[in-house]
Amino acid sequence: MSPPDPPRWRSFADLPRAHGGAAIRGRLRERPEDFLVDEVLGFEPDGEGEHALLHVRKTGVNTEWVARQLASHAGLPAAAVGYGGLKDRHAVATQWFSLHTGQQGGADWRALRVEGVEILAVDRHRKKLRRGALRGNRFRLRIRGLSGERDGLAERIERVRRLGVPHYFGAQRFGNGEGNLHGAHALFTGQAKRVGRHLRGLWLSAARSQIFNEVLALRVERGDWNRPLSGDRIQLAGSRSHFLAETIDEALRERTRTFDVHPSGPLWGSGELLTRGDAALLEQRVADSFAPWGEGLVSAGLRQERRPLRLEVADIEAGVSADDVLEIGFYLTAGAYATAVVRELVDWSSAA
C-alpha cells in the first residue's frame, strides 16, 4: 500500500494579507546590505563568568556556520557555543554568541580572520546563551526596482502600526522549495527511516508552523485574526502565559487594541486542545486536514503550545530615498519574521 499523498498547504507567498493587496512592487535582498538586522538582548552582559560573550556582525553567512568558525578559532567543540536565535544568511546581521572558555580561558579574537565575520565587542557572562534569550530584533530593509502606486503607502504604514500584521511563520522556516514540509510528511508516513536529530527537528518545526499558518490564514479570511472570540486562548504580550476567553467584554477588547494581549493559535502537539467553541472547531478542522502531521507531532513528544496570531510592529517608518529605493525600518519581538511585515506593504520578490 502506497503512503498517502502530502496534504495540500498554502505557500507563504499565497497566504492572505490582512490589509489588502499591496500596490507597490519591488525586489528585496538584491544585496546583503538590503536586509539589516540588529539583535536586541533582553539583558546586559554580566562582565564576569566562564563564558565569552561576543557581539558579531555577519554578512552573507548563516548563524550555525559562524558558530562553528568561532568554536574552531577558540579550540572548543561546537556544543560550547550558544546563541539566541538564527539570523538570515542573505543579510547583514549583528548578533550575540557565547563560548564556554572557563574563568581564565579565551581566544585572541583580534586574530580572527573569517570572511563575512567581524567581532564588534567581547565581554564575559555567567551563562550560556540559549535559544530564545532575546528581546527582539531591529530591521532596516531596502526594496529596489519599485513600481506601482505609492500614494497609499503612508496610510498602509499607519494601519500596520495601529492594527499589527498576521504573525505568520516566514518562508525560510520551510526550507528551500518547502523541503522541510516534504521531509516532515516523509517522516510522518514512514518514508524517512534514518534522520539525524537536527534535520528531524527542522522538519517537526516546519510541520507545526504550517498548521499554525493555516489556522491564521483562515482567521485572516474571516476578519477575526486580531480580535478575541469567545473560546479563544488569549496570550499576554511578551509571555507564554495565556488564558481562556470565556466572555468578551470591553476591558478585554481594550487590552487587545493596545497590544497588551493577543488572540493565539495552536502549535500542535499532545494534550487537550486549549480553545473552546468556534475557535476550537476551526483549529481542529485544520489539524484534521493534516491528519498524519498532527498524529506525528504527538508521537514525537511535542505538546500543545500557543503563539500569538497577531504581531505588533513597533517604531515602523518608511520612505523612498533619492535613488528610488524604499527603506523600511521597524522593531519586532523575538521569533517574528520581517517578511510577514513587508508582505503587507509591498508585493516583493527576493533575489536570494
- Determine the length of the chain: 352
Nearest to 215 by CA among 266, 163, 278: 266
One-letter amino acid for residue 204 of the chain: L
Residue 88 among the catalytic residues: yes
Count of helix runs (H) and strand runs (E) in the chain: 8, 16
Rounded CA-CA distance 295/150 in Å is 46
Helix axes 197-222, 277-289, angle to 10 degrees: 130
Q: Rounded to the nearest 10 degrees, what angle do helices 291-299 and 179-188 cross at?
A: 70
Residue 210 in grid coordinates: 504550517
Q: How far is CA 211 from CA 217, 218, 267, 285, in A?
A: 10, 11, 8, 11
Residues near 160 by beta carbon (within 8 Å), at least 6 away in sequence: 19, 313, 316, 341, 344, 345
Nearest alpha-carbon partner for 173 in 186, 183, 165, 163: 183
Alpha carbons 66 and 86: distance in angstroms, whole number: 11
Cα distance between residue 230 and residue 118, in whole Å: 51
14, 34, 38, 88: the catalytic one is 88
Composition of the chain by helix, strand, coil, percent to 5: 30, 30, 40
Hey, which residues are catalytic here?
88
